[in-house]
Copies of this chain bind each other. A is one copy, B any other.
Amino acid sequence: MAMRRAGMSAIRALCSSPNSTRHVHSTAGSKKIVGVFYKANEYAELNPNFVGTVERGLGIRDWLESQGHQYIVTDDKEGPDCELEKHLSDLHVLITTPFHPAYVTAERIKKAKNLQLLLTAGIGSDHIDLKAAAEAGLTVAEVTGSNVVSVAEDELMRILILVRNFLPGYHQVINGEWNVAGIAHRAYDLEGKTVGTVGAGRIGRLLLQRLKPFNCHLLYHDRIKIDPQLENETGAKFEEDLDAMLPKCDIIVLNMPLTEKTRGMLDKERISKLKKGVLIVNNARGALVDTQAVADACASGHIGGYSGDVWFPQPAPKDHPWRYMPNQAMTPHISGTTIDAQLRYAAGTKDMLDRYFKGEEFPLQNYIVKEGVLAPQYR
């Protein structure tokens, strides 16, 4: 199927071959590129750098159209009659984001007969059925590194908001109240506490560096140890056994990708073994945890606070239990889409499109699926 429209590819699968390969090397002629972003609406005019939106479309329209390509942007991504569905049959490239995820299912991939390339403007491509994408021989790539600093900063903010019990104080202010005891009886310093990160990839490592001056006990669990120099610099201790690490932590931060292996990893049983009053920060993915188990543990006080910006599904429905559980400090999915991050992932997406048109390789770390072959950490 894919062979009908594929030219020579400069990029070859390195490992096992997929069932079929849709070569990522752009063939001659104009391409149809579709981008799915969140709408800026009334906020569009407030900031000239608000590029990650439908209205600005990553700021690449003029560049794409000057080269003869067609560029469609929309936020309409759900259901059989949405704008995205209309373009599936003839698009070549689909750009999506984790913040307003267009779920790229096996069914949609099957419909998208011309599709060659799936680009994530940002980091985290779990809204894409990677197995189906690999089987169809597609390439999936993201702008690795584009918002890791943004997310790590946000995690440290959330740790502090929980440890220091910020929100009850803020609520007192807006409600015309003043009751220091109502805040202070469960406000602590971060100093001296034990903080464990599950995952010490790009974001986890940046978090450890930012935590260093707070004089905490830092632990990390990952498949492999971090660079000895960084371990020495941050004082973070490697914990090979996740279930040995978790009960030691006053604060747990999730920093791993969502895969079939990690889905639901923080479930009722694991939560029951955590310290009473443990604080949890999850800016990774909502589906890493059992939604109801988290809500129940917040209600019982076993979890002393939960903060994050990721939910499943997104947007979170009005009746999502995390909106109503006590001691939550949640936001919509926002940490990786600061204005600074948008400028970086817009630039990174443009760079990959440029390479695609020219038949050049992407930066190696950007590949999630490379011509049908899944990157090792997703297998």
Contacts and interface: CB of A to CB of B under 8 A. Distances in A.
A50 B165 CA distance: 14
Contacts of A3: none
Interface string A162-192: 0010110110111010111111111111111
Interface residues of A, number: 71
Nearest to A46: B185
A203 B318 CA distance: 42
B172 A331 contact: yes
A169 B334 contact: yes
B166 A331 contact: yes
Interface string A134-175: 000000000000000110011011001100101101101110
A82 interface: no
B185 A340 contact: no
A79 to B, nearest CB: 17
A315 B43 contact: no
B156 A160 contact: yes
A216 to B, nearest CB: 11
B186 A47 contact: yes
Given A154-B164, A213-B213, A184 B331 contact: no
Contact of A187 (B40, B169, B189, B339): B339
A338 interface: yes
A23 interface: no
Given A156-B156, A176-B323, 13 more contacts: A46-B186, A50-B184, A50-B185, A153-B164, A156-B160, A157-B157, A157-B160, A161-B166, A167-B170, A169-B330, A174-B323, A176-B318, A179-B332
Give the 8 A-B CB pairs with smallest separation, nearest first: A169-B331, A157-B160, A178-B315, A43-B185, A189-B340, A176-B318, A40-B181, A173-B330
